[in-house]
Amino acid sequence: MALRDDGNVVFISVVNAWKMQSKSQIGKLTLFKPLAEIIGEQQTANGFALLPIQLPHILTLDDLPLHHRDPFDRLLIAQARHENLTLVSRDPRFTAYPVQVLW
């Protein structure tokens, strides 16, 4: 599997942490540990590299049609497109975009 291949770098986007924090704050996600601890543990346990949000990711949003209206998911798609990364998601709407989707 691509996620377990030592030849691949697996990223966790800052967007993921932002979305988790936002959902936790409004009561749509229950976290049993502080978010910083969860992210740190996942980085250590799974070797995830952190993908920051950069201006080119924001600008790539201009090229994306509005198949998906969730701003967090759109930014993940823009990052994957700009960085030429495979996006791991079970959201079927992601496949409407010109990015590789795994799951």
pLDDT tens per residue across span 36-47: 999 999 999 989
pLDDT exceeding 90 applies to what percent of the chain? Answer: 85
Mean of all residue pLDDT scores within the chain: 93
Residue 48's beta-bridge partner residues? none
- For the stretch 47-58, pLDDT in tens is 999 999 999 999
CATH number of the domain located at residue range(s) 2-102 in this protein:
3.40.50.1010
End-to-end CA distance of the chain: 10
